[in-house]
A and B are shown apart, each in its own frame.
Chain A
Amino acid sequence: MRHLLDTHTLDRTTALRILDVAEDMADTQSREVKKLPTLRGKTVVNLFFEDSTRTRISFEAAAKRLSADVINFAAKGSSVSKGESLKDTAQTLEAIGADAVVVRHPASGAPQTLATSGWISAGVVNAGDGTHEHPTQALLDAFTIRKRRFGAESRGRDLAGVRVVIVGDVLHSRVARSNVWLLATLGAEVTLVAPPTLVPQNVSLWPARVVYDLDAALAEGPDAVMMLRIQLERMSAAYFPTEREYSRRWGLDALRVAGLPDGSIVMHPGPMNRGLEISSEAADSARSTVLEQVANGVSVRMAVLYLLLAGERDDERGGDL
């Protein structure tokens, strides 16, 4: 794997390979000594143009457990007018000798620009770009669903027939986009639930169904309900009238959770707005996989870094294990 930029172009074989390697990584994490020597001498740069402590520490933990050297680079500003350009930053990292760059950026497509510009030869991992994609989040979500469903029998399995409902601000959500593509690739049936204002124009080609009524979607007894974070500033742009109305119509409250079939799980990528898109009862229930998602995130990111830096790479640097 040269880069991980999106799940839209990720094929089923590669996706399953990442998930299976993540299983191996997860197994190592129950040992007394969690650290592996695999990426000793490799340098991983966490290049964050936008604050995200959760994602950064997850990648940092993943890289460190593989014995890579980690540099955290919090870059402020992203355009010529605001400070150092993406190009200059990239060329600086190249000069430092980065082997992989994990990039979080507020502009959709910035990781792809980084990967295809020729400014840098390092592998690029998209850690969330604007409202485009967040591929490792989708991979850890798929890993979590698979693990809950198949347990120790997870390896090699896809998500055929698994019904997943994704609820919330689809329009601005990179998590939703990455999940739609990946879950569909793995055979899951995806339903998006959102106020019509928060569904992109136009999703006619998406491998997902769109409904506006959360209760109707939940009545079908989905296997997983994934709640998306609502950003409160959306209210000022007239996407929905009030927090209260949003919560009433699209929030996962105790009553709605209680109506779910046994075995259904409740997911959230975090950070949660308790009381808005998800109630504390839902977030803290036995169905909730919120903390498992965090733990699985480290395993999945270990797998991605491993495949990027130590696995078979189809470029000129492929052999330098």
Chain B
Amino acid sequence: MSETLVITGAQLVGAESADIIVEGGVITEIGTGLSRAGARVIDADGLVALPGLVDLHTHLREPGYEASETILTGTRAAAAGGFTAVFAMPNTSPVADTAGVVEQELALGEAAGYATVQPIGAVTVGQKGERLAELGAMATSRAKVRVFSDDGFCVFDPLIMRRALEYVKSFDGVIAQHAQDPRLTEGAQMNEGVVSAELGLAGWPAVAEESIIARDVLLAEHVGSRLHVCHLSTAGSVDIIRWAKKRGIAVTAEVTPHHLLLTDDLVRGYDARFKVNPPLRREEDVLAVREGLADGTIDIVATDHAPHPSENKACEWQAAANGMVGLESALRVVHQSMVQTGLIGWADVARVMSATPAQIGRLSGHGTPLEVGRPAQITLYDTSVDGVFTEADLHGRSVNSPYLGRALPGRVEFTVHGGRLTVDGGSLVEGVNA
């Protein structure tokens, strides 16, 4: 059950510090010197109060790959990272390409209670890129799917992509494209460039991403549909999105925390924790995506949280799986790469990690400003601390984080999901739905 919370002295973004009263899962009062009899008092003095974070790109692995993650463990990781809602990618087994699977995911998320789980539906049956999945059935299911993606696989066939973009207009859906030309990336292992030439790893060229994005924005313009570009990673992609937005095309774009911080130089040790798709790029690309996020070309940060068991990472690079866990570290990485560099402020963080992702995904009850009458989805973040990121910071089932051993600023002190604490004093609350 939701409790009554008195959050005192929180630093609201773009405003003075204030007290926040949470009752019945809703923010009921904001002011100074507030109190409620019998309420839990949270001392938030010096903590930044953000609307609960929303991740448009998470892999929760359930159903099918529970050795890597479950909806329970993944949402615990989300809560620990300050997230109150996650969009679950459909590359499960079975693939989330039917109303039945997305409703199951929704129910498991509700049962877990750590964060809202909003399923993403597959665009095509089995993510095979051949036939459209029953998008309408998923949209009208209890899961109310609005985001469709074959993530991990690019919807490569231009005709299928066009039809998908057109079809989802009837329920205000969006196609989230994993932009990767499969022919140009056969066997690809890392960013194609100076480092891949030296290491003898097959290259994943920037053009394989950029050419698909260019095609897709033109398709979106032609059919007047919404397009979302997943985990954009290159300077050229930023330019194409900038051009498309200038033309008035309804495109949104995301960048991952790791593409904001890490470069392909890290591949030199062949440590598969740094293997991810799209791959880590050059320093120039990192600077370009930061600039794109700061100037609004890139709309959001999304984690692409991708858990893998250790045997899929403790092996030779070529045999290793792509992906990194990212929920627990996302806010801290954005803090380091974007806020500490002076590129954006905390109000922008609230926009790119909460408001806009909820809006792109048409998710109600999340991403709203901290105002009276709004749902109590709140993240209280201590910006003043620093720490080395360790396995103790991870709360999912897998530990394939590229940040282990790296110093990152900040700490999520409290997460309030639907009026209930999921993180209390920096620690996960056990059994939130008990």
Residues of A within 8 A of B (CB): 8, 78-81, 85-87, 105-110, 112-113, 116-117, 129-133, 174, 177, 200-206
Complex formed: what's the CA distance from A86 to B319 in Å? 10
Complex formed: what's the CA distance from A87 to B312 in Å? 11
* Interface check B270, CB cutoff 8 A: yes
Complex formed: what's the CA distance from A110 to B201 in Å? 12
Q: A201-B193, A204-B194 are in contact. Are A108 and B199 (CB under 8 A)?
A: yes
Q: Is the CB of A203 within 8 A of B197?
A: yes
Q: Is the CB of A108 within 8 A of B315?
A: no
Closest to A77 in B: B319
Q: Is the CB of A200 within 8 A of B269?
A: no
Q: Which of B194, B199, B311 has the most CB of A within 10 A?
A: B199
Q: Count CB-based A-B contacts (< 8 Å).
A: 83
Complex formed: what's the CA distance from A113 to B203 in Å? 20
* Interface check B38, CB cutoff 8 A: no
Q: A79-B316, A87-B314, A107-B319 are in contact. Are A112 and B197 (CB under 8 A)?
A: no
Closest to B312 in A: A80
Q: Mark B196-231, 1 if CB is under 8 A from A, else 0.
A: 111111110100000000000000000000000000
Complex formed: what's the CA distance from A129 to B317 in Å? 11
A86 CB contact (under 8 Å) in B196, B200, B312, B316: B316
Closest to B309 in A: A80
Q: Is the CB of A117 within 8 A of B314?
A: yes
Q: Is the CB of B318 within 8 A of A130?
A: yes
B317 CB contact (under 8 Å) in A107, A117, A174, A202: A107
* Interface check B166, CB cutoff 8 A: no
Q: Is the CB of B315 within 8 A of A132?
A: no
Please classify how large the interface on chain B is, using the bins under 10, 10 to 19, 20 to 34, 35 or more. 20 to 34
**6 interchain residue pairs of minimum CB distance:** A109-B270, A79-B319, A132-B200, A200-B197, A131-B200, A107-B318
A selection of 5 A-B contacts at a CB cut-off of 8 Å is A80-B319, A113-B270, A130-B201, A204-B194, A206-B197
Q: Which residues of A have CB within 8 Å of B192?
A: 201
Q: Is the CB of B315 within 8 A of A205?
A: no
Q: A109-B270, A113-B270, A201-B203 are in contact. Are A87 and B315 (CB under 8 A)?
A: yes
CB distance from B276 to the nearest CB of A (A): 16
CB distance from A279 to the nearest CB of B (A): 29
Q: Which residues of A have CB within 8 Å of B201?
A: 108-109, 130-132
Q: A8-B198, A201-B193, A203-B197 are in contact. Are A109 and B312 (CB under 8 A)?
A: no
Q: Mark B307-327, 1 if CB is under 8 A from A, else 0.
A: 000011011111100000000
Q: Which residues of A have CB within 8 Å of B314?
A: 87, 117
Q: Is the CB of B194 within 8 A of A205?
A: yes
Complex formed: what's the CA distance from A131 to B192 in Å? 14
Complex formed: what's the CA distance from A130 to B202 in Å? 10
Q: Which of B205, B312, B316, B317 has the most CB of A within 10 A?
A: B316
Q: Which residues of B have CB within 8 Å of A108?
A: 189, 199-201, 270, 317-318
CB distance from A185 to the nearest CB of B (A): 14
Complex formed: what's the CA distance from A68 to B315 in Å? 29
Q: Which residues of B have CB within 8 Å of A109?
A: 199, 201, 270, 316-318
Q: Which residues of B have CB within 8 Å of A112?
A: 269-270
Q: Which residues of B have CB within 8 Å of A81?
A: 319
Q: A79-B319, A200-B197, A203-B197 are in contact. List 12 more A-B contacts (CB 8 A).
A: A78-B316, A107-B319, A109-B201, A109-B318, A110-B316, A113-B317, A116-B269, A117-B314, A131-B202, A201-B196, A201-B197, A204-B194
Q: A108-B317, A113-B316, A113-B317 are in contact. Are A80 and B311 (CB under 8 A)?
A: yes
Q: Which of B189, B203, B270 has the most CB of A within 10 A?
A: B270
Q: Is the CB of B196 within 8 A of A200?
A: yes
Complex formed: what's the CA distance from A86 to B314 in Å? 9
Q: Which residues of B have CB within 8 Å of A177?
A: 198, 200
Complex formed: what's the CA distance from A116 to B315 in Å? 11
Q: Which residues of B have CB within 8 Å of A105?
A: 316
Q: Which residues of B have CB within 8 Å of A79?
A: 315-316, 318-319
Q: Is the CB of A133 within 8 A of B200?
A: yes
Q: A80-B311, A108-B317, A116-B269 are in contact. Are A174 and B198 (CB under 8 A)?
A: no
Q: Is the CB of B312 within 8 A of A130?
A: no
Residues of chain B from 163 to 210 with CB closer than 8 A to chain A in the complex:
189, 192-194, 196-203, 205
B197 CB contact (under 8 Å) in A80, A85, A117, A202: A202
Complex formed: what's the CA distance from A174 to B193 in Å? 17
Closest to A204 in B: B194
Closest to B317 in A: A109
Q: Is the CB of A78 within 8 A of B200?
A: no
CB distance from A85 to the nearest CB of B (A): 6
CB distance from A228 to the nearest CB of B (A): 14
Complex formed: what's the CA distance from A176 to B183 in Å? 26
Q: Is the CB of B194 within 8 A of A202?
A: yes
Complex formed: what's the CA distance from A203 to B193 in Å? 8
Complex formed: what's the CA distance from A205 to B199 in Å? 13
Complex formed: what's the CA distance from A131 to B193 in Å? 15
Complex formed: what's the CA distance from A318 to B193 in Å? 39
CB distance from B205 to the nearest CB of A (A): 7
Complex formed: what's the CA distance from A8 to B268 in Å? 11
Closest to B196 in A: A200
Complex formed: what's the CA distance from A80 to B315 in Å? 8
Closest to B318 in A: A107
Q: A108-B200, A200-B197 are in contact. Are A113 and B205 (CB under 8 A)?
A: no
Q: A112-B269, A201-B205 are in contact. Are A85 and B315 (CB under 8 A)?
A: yes
Q: Which residues of B have CB within 8 Å of A129?
A: 200
Q: A80-B311, A130-B200, A133-B200 are in contact. Are A107 and B316 (CB under 8 A)?
A: yes
Q: Which residues of B have CB within 8 Å of A113?
A: 270, 315-317
CB distance from B330 to the nearest CB of A (A): 28
Q: Which residues of A have CB within 8 Å of B205?
A: 201
Complex formed: what's the CA distance from A174 to B199 in Å? 9
CB distance from B309 to the nearest CB of A (A): 9
Complex formed: what's the CA distance from A109 to B268 in Å? 9
Q: Which of A87, A105, A107, A131 has the most CB of B within 10 A?
A: A107
CB distance from B199 to the nearest CB of A (A): 6
Closest to B310 in A: A87
Q: Which residues of A have CB within 8 Å of B315?
A: 79-80, 85-87, 113
Complex formed: what's the CA distance from A80 to B314 in Å? 10
CB distance from A97 to the nearest CB of B (A): 23
CB distance from A203 to the nearest CB of B (A): 5
Q: Which residues of A have CB within 8 Å of B202?
A: 131
CB distance from A131 to the nearest CB of B (A): 4
Q: Which residues of A have CB within 8 Å of B317?
A: 107-110, 113
Complex formed: what's the CA distance from A86 to B312 in Å? 11
Complex formed: what's the CA distance from A200 to B189 in Å? 14
Q: Is the CB of B311 within 8 A of A85?
A: yes
Complex formed: what's the CA distance from A205 to B202 in Å? 18
Q: Which residues of B have CB within 8 Å of A78?
A: 316, 319
